[in-house]
Amino acid sequence: MPALSTGPAVGFEQVGKRYGDAPPAVDDVSLTIAAGSFVALVGTSGSGKSTLLKTINRLVIPDAGRVMLDDKDVAAGPAPALRRSIGYVFQDVGLFPHLTVAENVALPLKLAGAPDHTRALAMLDLVELPHVLATRMPAELSGGQRQRVGVARALVTRPGLLLMDEPFGALDPVTRESLAGAVRRLHDELRLTTIMVTHDMAEALLLATRVLVMAAGRVVSDATPAALLAGEGGDVAQALVAVPRDQARRLAALAG
Ligand SMILES: Nc1ncnc2c1ncn2[C@@H]1O[C@H](COP(=O)(O)OP(=O)(O)OP(=O)(O)O)[C@@H](O)[C@H]1O
């Protein structure tokens, strides 16, 4: 399959979002994500990661600021066209239970008026799923296979930008590791810009080229994995890095 064009740069310009009277879920976030980056968005529960991510594909409308893809405001133009240019994978992948695997993967093409079964099968190759699964229903797949179908569907319209919200959250560690590796390979091969929300700092450090840490709606750390491992990025980031580091230390001690 030919490589997709390089993904867009993503710009947040003083983006804010508040739900009702609660403190802001996203509070004055300004930063640029370079085209082709793999960015992990981490932080404790409720820190605003999903809300910030969803401002990009307009599942959340910010009440302050704007979000740019290259030099285009995501608010300009119709949302369906925007969403066709953005792949979106989330934890409970949302496959349609009454459609086969191939039909699920091809659905975004059908909705865009250009159904293409061959392309759907090529997407299965891309996510390393055998074609015999094409006629199965989602309920007949493992959780890991379902997530792979979700990734195939997210990429079938050849988006340049891939957004993932805890995509491997419900998977066992071995499947999680294998799928994470597949996503990183796809990111590289398809020259995507990828933004992934994860609770797992080890996953963020191993997969991403840049790690953004959120706390109370703000981005409190913005560093490379190497910088974080060298102790940079501030207290909140270091508290998160300490978790896998302590686990590795305890495992090494157990091994003697
Ligand atoms: N649709 C909504 N209506 C009201 N409040 C919301 C809504 N979505 C999120 N919130 C609130 O906004 C804040 C940020 O939520 P968000 O889901 O963005 O955080 P998160 O960092 O992704 O959390 P988690 O890691 O638990 O998924 C939280 O206080 C949450 O309760």
Residue nearest to atom 8 of ligand 1 (CA): 51
Residue of 47, 63, 220 to test ligand 1 pocket, by largest number of atoms within 8 Å of CB: 47
Ligand 1 lined by 96 (C-beta under 6 Å): no
Report percent pLDDT > 90 for the chain. 71
Ligand 1 lined by 47 (C-beta under 6 Å): yes
pLDDT (tens digit per residue) in 72-113: 999 999 998 899 899 999 887 789 999 999 999 999 999 888
- Report the amino acid identity of residue 140: E
**Distance from C-alpha of 143 to C-alpha of 91, rounded to nearest angstrom:** 10
Report percent pLDDT > 70 for the chain. 98
pLDDT (tens digit per residue) in 131-156: 999 999 999 999 889 989 999 999 99
Residue pair 173/98 in contact (Cβ under 8 Å)? The answer is no
pLDDT (tens digit per residue) in 227-237: 999 999 999 99
Residue of 19, 26, 220 to test ligand 1 pocket, by largest number of atoms within 8 Å of CB: 19
ipTM (interface predicted TM): 0.97
Closest CA to 69 of 163, 169, 3: 163
Q: What is the pTM of this model?
A: 0.93
pLDDT (tens digit per residue) in 188-208: 998 999 999 998 999 999 999
Give buried/exposed letters for 58-90 (b at 16+ CB in 10 A, else e). bbbebeebebbbeeeebeeeeeeebbbbbbbbb
